[in-house]
Structure 1
Amino acid sequence: MKIIKGFCFLAVLAAVACNQPAKQQQETAKADSVAADSAKTTAVPVADTAGVVKAYIALKDEFLKSDVAGVKIAATALEARLAGIKGCTETATVAHQIATVDDIKVQRNEFLVLSKDVIALIKGAKFKSDPIYVDFCPMADGGKGGYWLSSAKNIENPYFPEHMKECGSVKEQIN
Protein backbone atom coordinates (compact mmCIF):
# COMPACT_ATOMS: atom_id res chain seq x y z
CA MET A 1 0.00 0.00 0.00
CA LYS A 2 2.87 2.37 0.85
CA ILE A 3 4.41 1.70 -2.55
CA ILE A 4 1.16 2.64 -4.28
CA LYS A 5 0.91 5.83 -2.21
CA GLY A 6 4.51 6.64 -3.11
CA PHE A 7 3.84 6.24 -6.82
CA CYS A 8 0.62 8.27 -6.61
CA PHE A 9 2.59 10.97 -4.82
CA LEU A 10 5.17 10.93 -7.60
CA ALA A 11 2.50 11.23 -10.28
CA VAL A 12 0.87 14.22 -8.58
CA LEU A 13 4.22 15.93 -8.13
CA ALA A 14 5.13 15.34 -11.77
CA ALA A 15 1.82 16.80 -12.97
CA VAL A 16 2.17 19.88 -10.76
CA ALA A 17 5.83 20.36 -11.71
CA CYS A 18 4.90 20.97 -15.36
CA ASN A 19 3.38 24.33 -14.42
CA GLN A 20 6.08 25.61 -12.01
CA PRO A 21 9.13 27.87 -12.50
CA ALA A 22 12.56 26.18 -12.87
CA LYS A 23 13.62 26.66 -9.22
CA GLN A 24 10.44 25.07 -7.95
CA GLN A 25 10.90 22.21 -10.43
CA GLN A 26 14.32 21.50 -8.90
CA GLU A 27 12.76 21.35 -5.43
CA THR A 28 10.04 19.08 -6.77
CA ALA A 29 12.68 16.83 -8.36
CA LYS A 30 14.36 16.51 -4.95
CA ALA A 31 11.00 15.58 -3.39
CA ASP A 32 10.45 13.04 -6.18
CA SER A 33 13.83 11.50 -5.44
CA VAL A 34 13.07 11.25 -1.71
CA ALA A 35 9.65 9.70 -2.43
CA ALA A 36 11.20 7.19 -4.85
CA ASP A 37 13.83 6.21 -2.27
CA SER A 38 11.06 5.79 0.29
CA ALA A 39 9.09 3.55 -2.08
CA LYS A 40 12.18 1.40 -2.66
CA THR A 41 12.71 0.85 1.06
CA THR A 42 9.14 -0.36 1.56
CA ALA A 43 9.47 -3.10 -1.05
CA VAL A 44 9.43 -6.58 0.44
CA PRO A 45 12.68 -8.52 0.13
CA VAL A 46 12.23 -11.50 -2.21
CA ALA A 47 13.82 -14.08 0.11
CA ASP A 48 11.63 -12.98 3.02
CA THR A 49 8.48 -13.22 0.93
CA ALA A 50 9.33 -16.72 -0.26
CA GLY A 51 9.90 -17.71 3.38
CA VAL A 52 6.52 -16.25 4.34
CA VAL A 53 4.80 -18.28 1.62
CA LYS A 54 6.49 -21.48 2.77
CA ALA A 55 5.62 -20.84 6.44
CA TYR A 56 2.04 -19.86 5.56
CA ILE A 57 1.50 -23.06 3.53
CA ALA A 58 2.87 -25.09 6.46
CA LEU A 59 0.34 -23.37 8.75
CA LYS A 60 -2.50 -24.02 6.32
CA ASP A 61 -1.50 -27.68 6.20
CA GLU A 62 -1.69 -27.91 9.99
CA PHE A 63 -5.22 -26.49 9.85
CA LEU A 64 -6.07 -29.32 7.43
CA LYS A 65 -5.04 -31.77 10.17
CA SER A 66 -6.98 -29.82 12.85
CA ASP A 67 -3.90 -30.17 15.02
CA VAL A 68 -3.92 -27.37 17.61
CA ALA A 69 -0.33 -28.03 18.69
CA GLY A 70 0.89 -28.19 15.09
CA VAL A 71 -0.98 -24.98 14.26
CA LYS A 72 0.72 -23.27 17.21
CA ILE A 73 4.19 -24.34 16.06
CA ALA A 74 3.55 -23.36 12.43
CA ALA A 75 2.05 -20.00 13.47
CA THR A 76 5.14 -19.27 15.57
CA ALA A 77 7.37 -19.97 12.55
CA LEU A 78 5.22 -17.72 10.36
CA GLU A 79 5.29 -14.98 12.99
CA ALA A 80 9.10 -15.04 12.92
CA ARG A 81 9.13 -14.70 9.12
CA LEU A 82 6.61 -11.84 9.16
CA ALA A 83 8.43 -10.01 11.96
CA GLY A 84 11.46 -9.73 9.68
CA ILE A 85 9.54 -7.78 7.03
CA LYS A 86 9.06 -4.05 7.38
CA GLY A 87 5.37 -3.19 7.58
CA CYS A 88 4.19 -6.65 8.65
CA THR A 89 4.05 -6.04 12.40
CA GLU A 90 0.26 -6.30 12.61
CA THR A 91 0.21 -9.48 10.54
CA ALA A 92 2.93 -10.97 12.75
CA THR A 93 0.75 -10.11 15.75
CA VAL A 94 -2.16 -12.08 14.25
CA ALA A 95 0.17 -15.06 13.74
CA HIS A 96 1.24 -14.68 17.37
CA GLN A 97 -2.41 -14.75 18.48
CA ILE A 98 -2.92 -18.00 16.58
CA ALA A 99 0.17 -19.42 18.29
CA THR A 100 -1.07 -18.60 21.79
CA VAL A 101 -4.64 -19.94 21.55
CA ASP A 102 -5.67 -23.50 22.43
CA ASP A 103 -9.02 -23.48 20.59
CA ILE A 104 -9.00 -24.52 16.91
CA LYS A 105 -12.14 -22.46 16.19
CA VAL A 106 -10.50 -19.30 17.49
CA GLN A 107 -7.33 -20.15 15.58
CA ARG A 108 -9.34 -20.53 12.37
CA ASN A 109 -11.08 -17.19 12.93
CA GLU A 110 -7.69 -15.51 13.25
CA PHE A 111 -6.50 -17.42 10.17
CA LEU A 112 -9.21 -15.59 8.16
CA VAL A 113 -7.59 -12.26 9.04
CA LEU A 114 -4.06 -13.58 8.60
CA SER A 115 -4.88 -14.96 5.17
CA LYS A 116 -6.19 -11.61 3.88
CA ASP A 117 -2.97 -9.90 5.00
CA VAL A 118 -0.63 -12.55 3.60
CA ILE A 119 -2.51 -12.65 0.28
CA ALA A 120 -2.08 -8.87 -0.03
CA LEU A 121 1.62 -9.19 0.79
CA ILE A 122 2.18 -11.92 -1.79
CA LYS A 123 0.26 -10.07 -4.50
CA GLY A 124 2.42 -6.98 -3.89
CA ALA A 125 5.72 -8.85 -3.97
CA LYS A 126 7.67 -9.68 -7.08
CA PHE A 127 9.40 -13.04 -6.81
CA LYS A 128 9.63 -16.21 -8.81
CA SER A 129 7.90 -19.28 -7.49
CA ASP A 130 5.70 -22.14 -8.48
CA PRO A 131 2.09 -21.06 -8.90
CA ILE A 132 0.31 -19.98 -5.74
CA TYR A 133 -3.45 -20.25 -5.72
CA VAL A 134 -5.89 -17.95 -3.94
CA ASP A 135 -8.77 -20.18 -2.85
CA PHE A 136 -12.16 -19.18 -1.48
CA CYS A 137 -14.79 -20.95 0.58
CA PRO A 138 -18.21 -19.23 0.63
CA MET A 139 -19.20 -21.07 3.82
CA ALA A 140 -16.29 -19.86 5.99
CA ASP A 141 -16.69 -17.04 8.49
CA GLY A 142 -20.35 -17.73 9.15
CA GLY A 143 -21.29 -17.59 5.47
CA LYS A 144 -19.29 -14.42 4.70
CA GLY A 145 -16.60 -16.47 3.01
CA GLY A 146 -12.91 -16.87 3.57
CA TYR A 147 -9.77 -16.94 1.47
CA TRP A 148 -6.52 -18.87 1.81
CA LEU A 149 -3.39 -19.59 -0.21
CA SER A 150 -2.47 -22.98 -1.57
CA SER A 151 0.44 -24.41 -3.52
CA ALA A 152 -1.85 -26.96 -5.21
CA LYS A 153 -4.75 -26.35 -7.56
CA ASN A 154 -7.01 -28.90 -5.89
CA ILE A 155 -9.12 -27.55 -3.02
CA GLU A 156 -8.27 -28.54 0.53
CA ASN A 157 -10.30 -26.31 2.80
CA PRO A 158 -8.50 -25.38 6.06
CA TYR A 159 -11.71 -23.96 7.55
CA PHE A 160 -13.77 -27.19 7.27
CA PRO A 161 -11.32 -30.06 6.75
CA GLU A 162 -13.45 -32.66 8.55
CA HIS A 163 -16.79 -32.10 6.84
CA MET A 164 -16.25 -29.99 3.70
CA LYS A 165 -12.62 -30.48 2.76
CA GLU A 166 -13.31 -29.89 -0.94
CA CYS A 167 -15.63 -26.91 -0.43
CA GLY A 168 -14.38 -23.87 -2.32
CA SER A 169 -12.82 -22.80 -5.57
CA VAL A 170 -9.67 -21.29 -6.98
CA LYS A 171 -10.24 -17.56 -7.43
CA GLU A 172 -6.81 -16.54 -8.68
CA GLN A 173 -3.36 -17.79 -9.58
CA ILE A 174 -0.33 -15.77 -8.51
CA ASN A 175 3.05 -16.05 -10.30
Structure 2
Amino acid sequence: MKIINNVVLFSLIIAVTACKQAAKPAQDAETKTDSGKTIVARVVDTANTADVFNTYINLKNEFLKSNVTGIKSTAALLENKLAGIKGCTETATLAHQITISNDIDAQRNTFLILSKDIIGLVKGAKFKAATIYVDYCPMADNGKGGYWLSVNKAIKNPYFPEHMKECGQVKEQIN
Protein backbone atom coordinates (compact mmCIF):
# COMPACT_ATOMS: atom_id res chain seq x y z
CA MET A 1 0.00 0.00 0.00
CA LYS A 2 2.86 2.37 0.80
CA ILE A 3 4.39 1.73 -2.64
CA ILE A 4 1.09 2.57 -4.33
CA ASN A 5 0.82 5.77 -2.31
CA ASN A 6 4.37 6.72 -3.31
CA VAL A 7 3.63 6.06 -7.00
CA VAL A 8 0.47 8.17 -6.81
CA LEU A 9 2.36 10.95 -5.03
CA PHE A 10 5.18 10.86 -7.60
CA SER A 11 2.69 11.00 -10.50
CA LEU A 12 0.95 13.94 -8.89
CA ILE A 13 4.25 15.81 -8.47
CA ILE A 14 5.11 15.28 -12.15
CA ALA A 15 1.68 16.51 -13.23
CA VAL A 16 1.93 19.65 -11.14
CA THR A 17 5.51 20.51 -12.08
CA ALA A 18 5.19 19.93 -15.83
CA CYS A 19 4.93 23.44 -17.21
CA LYS A 20 4.45 24.52 -13.59
CA GLN A 21 0.73 23.87 -13.95
CA ALA A 22 -1.93 22.61 -11.63
CA ALA A 23 -3.60 19.39 -12.68
CA LYS A 24 -7.29 19.60 -13.59
CA PRO A 25 -9.68 16.72 -14.20
CA ALA A 26 -10.81 16.12 -17.75
CA GLN A 27 -12.34 13.21 -19.62
CA ASP A 28 -12.13 14.43 -23.22
CA ALA A 29 -11.30 11.97 -25.99
CA GLU A 30 -8.62 13.24 -28.36
CA THR A 31 -7.09 11.95 -31.58
CA LYS A 32 -3.46 12.37 -32.54
CA THR A 33 -1.68 11.46 -35.73
CA ASP A 34 1.93 10.64 -36.44
CA SER A 35 2.79 9.86 -40.03
CA GLY A 36 -0.74 8.68 -40.81
CA LYS A 37 -1.28 6.68 -37.63
CA THR A 38 -4.30 7.67 -35.54
CA ILE A 39 -4.69 6.81 -31.88
CA VAL A 40 -7.41 7.87 -29.48
CA ALA A 41 -6.17 9.14 -26.13
CA ARG A 42 -8.02 10.13 -22.98
CA VAL A 43 -6.79 12.90 -20.79
CA VAL A 44 -7.64 11.99 -17.22
CA ASP A 45 -5.92 14.60 -15.12
CA THR A 46 -4.73 17.60 -17.13
CA ALA A 47 -6.99 19.87 -19.18
CA ASN A 48 -5.82 20.84 -22.69
CA THR A 49 -2.78 18.54 -22.65
CA ALA A 50 -4.16 16.29 -25.39
CA ASP A 51 -4.49 19.32 -27.70
CA VAL A 52 -0.93 20.35 -26.88
CA PHE A 53 0.34 16.81 -27.55
CA ASN A 54 -1.52 16.54 -30.88
CA THR A 55 -0.16 19.88 -32.03
CA TYR A 56 3.35 18.94 -30.85
CA ILE A 57 3.16 15.75 -32.98
CA ASN A 58 2.09 17.85 -35.97
CA LEU A 59 5.04 20.18 -35.32
CA LYS A 60 7.43 17.23 -35.15
CA ASN A 61 6.03 16.00 -38.47
CA GLU A 62 6.70 19.42 -40.05
CA PHE A 63 10.31 19.15 -38.86
CA LEU A 64 10.48 15.75 -40.58
CA LYS A 65 9.48 17.50 -43.82
CA SER A 66 11.92 20.39 -43.14
CA ASN A 67 9.03 22.69 -44.03
CA VAL A 68 9.88 26.07 -42.48
CA THR A 69 6.47 27.57 -43.32
CA GLY A 70 4.63 24.57 -41.88
CA ILE A 71 6.90 24.60 -38.83
CA LYS A 72 6.14 28.26 -38.18
CA SER A 73 2.36 27.92 -38.54
CA THR A 74 2.19 24.76 -36.42
CA ALA A 75 4.40 26.33 -33.76
CA ALA A 76 1.97 29.27 -33.63
CA LEU A 77 -0.89 26.81 -32.99
CA LEU A 78 1.17 25.14 -30.28
CA GLU A 79 1.92 28.50 -28.70
CA ASN A 80 -1.82 29.23 -28.47
CA LYS A 81 -2.56 25.80 -26.97
CA LEU A 82 0.21 26.19 -24.39
CA ALA A 83 -1.00 29.66 -23.49
CA GLY A 84 -4.26 28.03 -22.37
CA ILE A 85 -2.47 25.97 -19.72
CA LYS A 86 -1.65 27.66 -16.46
CA GLY A 87 2.09 27.70 -15.84
CA CYS A 88 3.16 26.99 -19.42
CA THR A 89 4.13 30.55 -20.30
CA GLU A 90 7.83 29.74 -20.76
CA THR A 91 7.02 26.75 -22.97
CA ALA A 92 4.64 28.92 -25.04
CA THR A 93 7.51 31.40 -25.42
CA LEU A 94 9.68 28.62 -26.88
CA ALA A 95 6.96 27.84 -29.43
CA HIS A 96 6.80 31.56 -30.25
CA GLN A 97 10.58 31.64 -30.85
CA ILE A 98 10.08 28.94 -33.48
CA THR A 99 7.37 31.03 -35.18
CA ILE A 100 9.59 34.08 -35.60
CA SER A 101 12.66 32.26 -36.94
CA ASN A 102 13.30 31.56 -40.62
CA ASP A 103 16.39 29.47 -39.81
CA ILE A 104 15.49 25.79 -39.56
CA ASP A 105 18.62 25.03 -37.52
CA ALA A 106 17.61 27.65 -34.94
CA GLN A 107 14.07 26.25 -34.99
CA ARG A 108 15.40 22.75 -34.34
CA ASN A 109 17.56 24.01 -31.46
CA THR A 110 14.49 25.56 -29.86
CA PHE A 111 12.52 22.37 -30.56
CA LEU A 112 15.10 20.48 -28.46
CA ILE A 113 14.22 22.57 -25.40
CA LEU A 114 10.51 22.63 -26.20
CA SER A 115 10.47 18.83 -26.43
CA LYS A 116 11.86 18.47 -22.90
CA ASP A 117 9.01 20.62 -21.55
CA ILE A 118 6.33 18.80 -23.56
CA ILE A 119 7.68 15.40 -22.47
CA GLY A 120 7.31 16.45 -18.82
CA LEU A 121 3.80 17.74 -19.47
CA VAL A 122 2.70 14.57 -21.28
CA LYS A 123 4.18 12.27 -18.63
CA GLY A 124 2.03 13.98 -16.03
CA ALA A 125 -1.11 13.81 -18.18
CA LYS A 126 -1.78 10.06 -18.04
CA PHE A 127 -3.10 9.48 -21.56
CA LYS A 128 -5.16 6.31 -21.79
CA ALA A 129 -5.26 3.72 -24.61
CA ALA A 130 -2.22 5.06 -26.45
CA THR A 131 1.46 4.31 -26.29
CA ILE A 132 3.64 7.36 -26.58
CA TYR A 133 7.33 6.87 -27.26
CA VAL A 134 10.11 9.07 -25.93
CA ASP A 135 12.77 8.87 -28.63
CA TYR A 136 16.40 9.93 -28.33
CA CYS A 137 19.12 10.84 -30.82
CA PRO A 138 22.66 10.95 -29.40
CA MET A 139 23.85 13.11 -32.32
CA ALA A 140 21.35 15.96 -31.77
CA ASP A 141 22.42 19.19 -30.09
CA ASN A 142 26.02 18.89 -31.30
CA GLY A 143 26.46 15.44 -29.80
CA LYS A 144 24.79 16.24 -26.47
CA GLY A 145 21.66 14.34 -27.51
CA GLY A 146 18.05 15.29 -27.90
CA TYR A 147 14.62 13.83 -27.18
CA TRP A 148 11.25 13.98 -28.90
CA LEU A 149 7.85 12.30 -28.66
CA SER A 150 6.23 9.96 -31.16
CA VAL A 151 3.23 7.66 -31.42
CA ASN A 152 5.18 5.26 -33.67
CA LYS A 153 7.87 2.90 -32.44
CA ALA A 154 9.86 3.33 -35.66
CA ILE A 155 12.40 6.15 -35.37
CA LYS A 156 11.86 9.20 -37.56
CA ASN A 157 14.35 11.80 -36.39
CA PRO A 158 13.10 15.42 -36.61
CA TYR A 159 16.62 16.76 -35.96
CA PHE A 160 18.27 15.04 -38.97
CA PRO A 161 15.47 14.04 -41.38
CA GLU A 162 17.57 14.54 -44.52
CA HIS A 163 20.71 12.59 -43.57
CA MET A 164 20.03 10.46 -40.48
CA LYS A 165 16.27 10.01 -40.41
CA GLU A 166 16.51 6.71 -38.53
CA CYS A 167 19.20 7.82 -36.08
CA GLY A 168 18.02 7.26 -32.54
CA GLN A 169 16.26 4.85 -30.28
CA VAL A 170 13.20 4.53 -28.13
CA LYS A 171 14.26 5.48 -24.60
CA GLU A 172 10.92 5.16 -22.87
CA GLN A 173 7.28 4.27 -23.40
CA ILE A 174 4.63 6.34 -21.71
CA ASN A 175 1.55 4.22 -20.86
TM-score (norm 1): 0.75
Which of the two has greater strand per residue? 2
Helix, strand or coil at the partner of 2:94: helix
| Range that drifts further, 127-136 or 113-122 | 127-136
The aligned amino acid for 2:22 is: T
RMSD of Structure 2 on Structure 1 (CA): 1.9
The whole-number CA distance in structure 2 between the counterparts of 1:107 and 1:129 is: 31
Superposed displacement of residue 125, structure 1: 1.4
Q: 1:109 Cα shift?
A: 0.2
1:4 match: 13
Moved more, 111-120 or 126-135: 126-135
Distance 1:170 1:72, change over 3 A: same
**Structure 2 counterparts to residues 87-102 of structure 1, below 5 A:** 87-102=87-102
Larger radius of gyration: 1
The superposition leaves residues 88-119 of structure 1 with CA deviations (integer Å, 9 ceiling, x where unpaired) of 11000000000110000000000000000000
Partner of 1:27: none
Structure with higher helix content? 1
Q: Which runs of 4+ in 1 moved over 2 A?
A: 44-47
Displacement of 1:129 in angstroms is 4.4
Is 2:28 the partner of 1:48?
A: no
CA distance in 1, matches of 2:172, 2:140: 18
Question: Residues 35-54 of structure 1: CA distance to partner in whole angstroms, max 9, x if unpaired?
Answer: xxxxxx81155351111110
Q: Percent sequence identity over matched residues?
A: 67
Flag structure 2 segments of 5+ consecutive residues without an equivalent.
1-9, 27-42
1:16-165 aligned at under 5 Å gives the runs 42-44=22-24, 46=43, 47-165=47-165
Gaps of 5+ in 1: 8-40
